[in-house]
Amino acid sequence: MRTWPAVPLRSRPAALPYVSAGLRASVKDQVVASLPIVIVLYAIVIAAYFVLRYAGQWAEGDTAAITLAIRSMWETGELVPHTGLVYPSGYGHTAVSIMILAFTGMSIDTLQQIVGPLMAALLVLPALALYRELTSSNRTALIAVVLLLIQPEFLFVVLRGSHERTLRLLMLMALLLLVRSFRYRSQPAAYVAHVLLFYLTVYALIATNILFGFSFIVAIAIVVVTVWLWSSWFPRVWGGLPALSGRLTFITIAVLIIGFTFIFYMYDPAKMTLQAFNGILNKLAALLLTTQATSSPYQTVTGGWVSLPVYFLLSSGTYLLILGSIVVWARQGYLWLRGAARPAGPGQALLWLLYTGFAVQGMLAAVSDLTGNAMNNLQLRSFPSFAMLAAPMLATGLAEWRPWPSLRLATGVLVGMLAACALLKATNDPLVSNQWTFYTRDEMTAMRWVDAHSEHTHIWTGPNERVTAGYSVEHGPSLAGNVWVGTPEVRTVRVAVLSDLLYLQSVRLRQALPPAVAGSRVYDNGAVQVYRAVPTSPYQR
């Protein structure tokens, strides 16, 4: 029998001698070439975790609303359905959804709860393409995408079933075409192609959400003003500024015209969106000129987590991104103003300017939130847009960083921890969150029964929307005119659905159960019961 001689560990060479330098380079090339797909795989794993964490049974308010809008467009075949819910801010995401339903034959809930989150992984490649154009570096672009994927606020909005997935993809594409168009100014055919595709994408963006369309215009307008100030006060910063300013001014006007046409001539429900701006000036004046205490729009946000330290820990990736990107942005701006450095090209200049635009918009959103306007938590809503530009800004600084091996390892561990925190926060894990988003099959069974056996009744279904959102996603709105109520004190509530989970959730949120649970138990499926309040007068039923 042949035996192999044992090789002492100490005598092993650092690298296998028969592996040539050429082969090693080839292996390294393969690894580098695989990195974009590896990051897509990572995004797929995140999306799969989001779906599997609750076995596909998750829902929240915006997902439910968009699902109802998809259902009404699908059932009526109308762009503006005459019955059911119409999404007033735009039809784009709804239209894409019904096109997928028509081709694939899948159910609406399967699309919204299972396939939709998995589709979010596709955002990695557009982000990579844009960041490479903005930073002129494949390495920086990769770092930026990793930074974006550890942002819980970004993950949550693109994984859930709202219009944001479509919106973010179109935003990345619009910015990509904008940056690329500056590169090809000297080639008319390519330039025209980029410009036409840019306006096609911007139309789709506005048609998906007119409010975000406005936000895009405002950001570009802020960039125009910044460029104008720079070229007036510091004309020697970068020779490309006047051309940039002229082009962006034209874009602002063109996008405004598209938005105006969309609201007033193409999609009537969008006019409702304008009402959100009603009275904002009065509210702003009230905020600045009175001393009355107002409710904080952020109370709900922080109250949604088990404790304030946990909230801050989970949000640490967000704070690091904000602080880090501000430092890089300020340093870059300072060096450019001093004349110690110049933008490497239109991409880098646009990144700096767009970052400024979306950061200013974030500050305006904070002021708007404090006025208590109709669109609460605007700052939270505008953060993903800011994060999409803050990630490459911070990555620009990190790409120059060459840490010691031990520090590199520590950074890797930190990024891993931030990724875990982002996942916990984006999935509203009950370990850390009070705003649960999952439900059980038994709860759906009970909801089906109570909806089928009640008419125009106010029914308590738990302290947050998770059960009713799940019912809306799986079955649609109540066909019998029943009203789902989350506040136990409402006197009109005569029927209550109660499961162990709803009980635990009420305890977690320190909310009382409605008085109806002391009444007659009229339904039981083992895990969920339905209660009806005992009449106290002959006029009650």
Query: What part of residues 96-125 is at the interface with another protein (CB under 8 A)?
Result: 96, 98-106, 110, 113-115, 118-119, 122, 125
- Which one, 125 or 280, has the nearer CB to another protein? 125
- Confirm if 171 and 389 have CB atoms less than 8 A apart: no
Specify the 3-state DSSP secondary structure of 87.
coil
- Closer residue to another protein (CB): 11 or 536: 536
Q: Which two tokens stand for residue 191?
A: 């330039």
Give 340's Cβ-side CA count (13 Å radius): 6
Q: Regarding beta strands 483-485 and 458-460, do their DSSP bridges make them parallel or antiparallel, or are they unpaired?
A: parallel
d(CA 110, CA 339): 56
Radius of gyration of the chain (CA): 27
* Crossing angle of the two packed helices 188-208 and 210-233, in degrees rounded to 10: 130
Q: Enumerate residues 64-93 that contact another protein by CB under 8 A.
A: 73-74, 77-80, 91-92
Please tell me what DSSP assigns to residue 477: S
- For residues 246 to 285, the per-residue mask of contacts with another protein, x marking binding by CB under 8 A and - elsewhere, is --------------------x-------------------
For another protein, which residue of 64, 128, 223, 354 counts as binding (CB under 8 A)?
128
Within 208-227, the residues that bind another protein by CB under 8 A are 208
Which residue, chain included where needed, has tokens 């918009």?
Answer: 361
Q: How far is the CB of 332 from another protein (least distance, A)?
A: 18
Shortest CB 102 distance to another protein, Å: 4
What minimum distance in Å lies between the beta carbon of 56 and another protein? 3
Is the separation of the CB atoms in 466 and 63 below 8 Å? no
Residues in 171-210 at the binding interface with another protein, rule: CB under 8 A:
172-173, 176, 183-184, 187, 189-190, 193, 196-197, 200-201, 203-204, 207-208
Q: How many CB atoms are located within 10 Å of the residue 343 CB? A: 20
Distances (CA, A) of 515 to 76, 234, 443, 464, 520: 40, 69, 20, 17, 11
- Lookup: tokens for 425: 């926060």
Q: Say how far residue 404 (Cα) sits from the centre of its chain.
A: 35
453 binds another protein (CB under 8 A): yes
Comparing CB distances to another protein, the nearer of 31 and 229 is: 31
Among 51, 150, 255, 270, binds another protein (CB under 8 A): 51
Q: Are 152 and 314 in contact (CB under 8 A)?
A: yes
* Residue number with CB closer to another protein (491 or 510): 491
Q: Are 439 and 468 in contact (CB under 8 A)?
A: no
Q: Which of 20, 30, 290, 295 binds another protein (CB under 8 A)?
A: 30
Q: Which of 1, 16, 33, 340 binds another protein (CB under 8 A)?
A: 33
Q: How far is the CB of 305 from another protein (least distance, A)?
A: 27
Closer of 113 and 226 to another protein (Cβ): 113
Q: Which of 279, 319, 455, 500 binds another protein (CB under 8 A)?
A: 455
DSSP-based three-state secondary structure for 499: strand
Contact mark string toward another protein, 473..512, x via CB under 8 A: ---------------------xx-----------------
- Which helix (H) or strand (E) element contains residue 427? none
Distance in Å, CB of 421 to another protein, minimum: 22
Among the listed residues 206, 310, 337, 328, the one whose alpha carbon sits nearest the alpha carbon of residue 260 = 206
Contact segment (CB under 8 A) with another protein among 32-40, 60-68, 227-235, 377-385 equals 32-40
Q: Does 330 bind another protein (CB under 8 A)?
A: no
Could you tell me the smallest distance in angstroms from the CB atom of residue 176 to another protein?
A: 7
Among 445, 475, 483, 511, binds another protein (CB under 8 A): 445
How far is Cα 433 from Cα 395, in angstroms, rounded to an integer? 30
Q: How far is the CB of 325 from another protein (least distance, A)?
A: 21
DSSP run (H or E) holding 530: strand 528-532
By CB under 8 A, tell whether 522 contacts another protein. Answer: yes
Q: Which is nearer to another protein, 141 or 219 (CB)?
A: 141
Q: How many CB atoms lie within 10 A of CB 440?
A: 18
Least separation in angstroms between CB 249 and another protein: 24
Please give the span between the terminal C-alpha atoms of the chain, in angstroms, as a whole number: 91
